[in-house]
Structure 1
Amino acid sequence: MNQFITEHLGELAALVTAVCWTFTSMSFESAGKKVGSMSVNIIRLFMAIALLGTLQYIRFGYFFPEGADAYQWFWLSISGLVGFVIGDMLLFQAFVVVGARISMLIMSLSPPLAALFGWILLGEQLTMAHILGMTVTMSGISLVILGKPSKGKRIKVKYPLKGILLAFGGATGQGLGLVLSKYGMGDYDPASATMIRVIAGTIGFSVLFIFTGHWPKVIKALSNGAAMLRISIGAFFGPFLGVSFSLLAIKYTTTGVASTIMSIVPVLIIPPAILLFKERVTLKEAVGATIAVLGVIVLFWF
């Protein structure tokens, strides 16, 4: 058993990461329905700073990131604003509108979108496998969200279009944020780079809330014990455990293998969605989620 764990440490870490993302998305969906997605966003970022800072202090002896130059701070901050402020703001609202299961299914577009942005911005090669993977993933998502057209309509969307577009915006922000992270990180420590992104995201939301007058709602949310428990669980399994195990996965196995295993969240989330949220999941939706994940596998393996 010990030999098996040692030989497959990266793959096992990636699997743990996928489980963490599942807990995170469902926790934030539940919290967002209680106190609003915007409040959940900034509270979990403050929690993420505390957790990631503690992790850095244990590893390196300092709380806030050190050793990054102005170039890295600039691009990682832009990445944080795109990924956390724009991407997650849209994703968390999608959690409230269509739920974590459908939102995370559409988020499976994030890896192929990252490949597309890498081709546009970094000149990375965009192969036929990337295009095929994106097409397969889109097919799986379409199978889930599209229903039988009614009379007089060519297309029928089974879920609120607003939620679908919000989740797609979240996937776009995540994909673009990942590419910008790669552009700015270089050989800098990934955990410290994540901390810079979180700090930028926190500042971005703070400024936004000053202009929108949202701070009173955040303060009110802090007094909601049920919501704070769920946000705490989401922050622990997401920015803390999730990020830590994802870095461990990439260290001990290839990025393609790790990314493929971590992308199975749309499938993993089906059982808890049925058991905890009493969602009705059809065979067609389960098959569609599986096809969407297969698209990500094609993206990295062929």
Structure 2
Amino acid sequence: MIPFFGEAAAMTAALTWATSSMIFSNIGGKIGAQSVNRGRLLWSITFLTLLHWILEGQPWPHSTTPEQIGWLALSSVLGLVIGDAMLFQAFVILGARLSMLMMSSVPIMGTVLAWFLFDEVLTPVQIAGVALGVGGILTVIMMRKGRPANLEGRNYLIGILCGLGGAVGQVANLITAKYALVGGYSALSAAWIRTLIAVVLIWAIAALMGRVRRTIVACLAPDVRGWLMLGAFIGPAMGIWLSMLAVQNANVGIASTLMATPPVLLIVYEGVVLRRPVGLQAVIGTLMAFAGVALLFLF
């Protein structure tokens, strides 16, 4: 086996998620967060079908029990329909960096909920990780320097709440999906089912609201369609596949920590590449949040 293959896959997954978040944030400002989410889901199910065909030998899953479908449907509604709708709104309001920082609270929330729901005992180091992670996120969101221009007061609060809502949706998605993955059920098959359910629901809602035609026209705009397809491919499709390779070929703690680096990567991108003022407090807070996640998984 190639040395550090799993670690490389985990780091590449983080890069794909950071990149796709920037893409979705940019085009969301042009056509609206929910249009981006609807278009992304259509492309995602297309790419996941191809990926499932290549890796599993058939385009869609089989041998799925009604109970598993029920849990995956609940996971899809909580994570992809409600949670992602809020996350994409956060992308538009806050931008990619702050939105992904909110999403770094997912392992923290998941650890705390697992403590209550599954009686998973937290060690003193993990409790310190939770405190450090929460402290890091609060350090960033309480500062003014580094926020998007003209984002103050009520709008900033709405953006933060949307980002945290997206994180809560992701935690609920992971916990409910856990019940469907018992017995070694394929994570890729589960992702395909969850995405298909989300596509059906979110486009049905768009039809009821009379927004199907508007969404299609927006997603097919010349300055949007290529970016939308690229974001859907490298994020939901390649990111999921790479994350599975990472977990299969590396220590789960190391892989999980590396895959939690998008906020760090994005702050480097904004500060070094785009030369935007992000502030020392934002850098320290982001590193604190990442360190808190690392403590949860590595110790």
Q: Same fold (TM over 0.5)?
A: yes
1:100 equivalent among 96, 100, 115: 96
Output the amino acid matched with 2:171.
Answer: G
2:260 equivalent among 263, 267, 274: 263
Compared CA separation, residues 268 and 159, structure 1 to 2 (3 A): farther
Matches of 1:195 and 1:118 in 2, distance apart?
25
1:175-208 Cα shifts (integer Å, max 9, x gaps): 1111111121111011111111111111221222
**Is 2:145 the counterpart of 1:125?**
no
1:88 equivalent among 84, 89, 97: 84
Counterpart contact for 1:38–1:89, Cα < 8 Å: yes
Counterpart contact for 2:81–2:198, Cα < 8 Å: yes
The residue aligned with 1:289 is: 286
SS in 1 for 2:105: helix
Structure 1: stretches of 5+ with no match in the other structure: 149-155
Matches of 1:58 and 1:228 in 2, distance apart?
25
Equivalent positions of 1:165-176 (< 5 A) are 165-176=161-172
Counterpart contact for 1:145–1:158, Cα < 8 Å: no
How far 1:219 moved relative to its partner?
A: 1.7
The residue aligned with 1:210 is: 207
**Is 2:61 the counterpart of 1:57?**
no
Compared CA separation, residues 157 and 145, structure 1 to 2 (3 A): farther
Matches of 1:248 and 1:55 in 2, distance apart?
13
Equivalent positions of 1:206-245 (< 5 A) are 206-245=203-242
Matches of 2:61 and 2:168 in 1, distance apart?
27
Output the amino acid matched with 1:174.
Answer: Q
1:46 equivalent among 38, 42, 49: 42
Counterpart contact for 1:146–1:157, Cα < 8 Å: no
Matches of 2:116 and 2:82 in 1, distance apart?
20
The residue aligned with 2:74 is: 78
Greater mean deviation of Cα atoms: 288-297 or 266-275: 266-275
Matches of 1:256 and 1:159 in 2, distance apart?
36
Counterpart contact for 2:28–2:36, Cα < 8 Å: yes
Output the amino acid matched with 1:36.
Answer: G
The residue aligned with 1:9 is: 5
Greater mean deviation of Cα atoms: 111-120 or 41-50: 111-120
Matches of 1:173 and 1:32 in 2, distance apart?
20
Greater mean deviation of Cα atoms: 131-140 or 37-46: 131-140
Compared CA separation, residues 184 and 117, structure 1 to 2 (3 A): farther
Output the amino acid matched with 1:228.
Answer: R
State the TM-score, normalized to the length of structure 1.
Answer: 0.90
Compared CA separation, residues 170 and 67, structure 1 to 2 (3 A): same
1:140-188 Cα shifts (integer Å, max 9, x gaps): 111111138xxxxxxx979811100000000111111111111211110
Output the amino acid matched with 2:211.
Answer: H
Counterpart contact for 1:54–1:63, Cα < 8 Å: yes
Output the amino acid matched with 1:107.
Answer: M
Output the amino acid matched with 1:8.
Answer: F
How far 1:69 moved relative to its partner?
A: 1.0
SS in 2 for 1:63: coil
How far 1:75 moved relative to its partner?
A: 0.4
Matches of 1:213 and 1:119 in 2, distance apart?
43
Counterpart contact for 1:143–1:285, Cα < 8 Å: yes
1:100-121 Cα shifts (integer Å, max 9, x gaps): 1001011100011122233333
The residue aligned with 2:148 is: none
Matches of 1:17 and 1:281 in 2, distance apart?
24
How far 1:246 moved relative to its partner?
A: 0.2
Counterpart contact for 1:117–1:176, Cα < 8 Å: no
Q: Report the identity percentage.
A: 36
Matches of 2:279 and 2:68 in 1, distance apart?
46
Matches of 1:120 and 1:211 in 2, distance apart?
38
Counterpart contact for 2:36–2:219, Cα < 8 Å: no
Counterpart contact for 2:6–2:255, Cα < 8 Å: yes
How far 1:211 moved relative to its partner?
A: 2.9
Counterpart contact for 2:10–2:242, Cα < 8 Å: yes
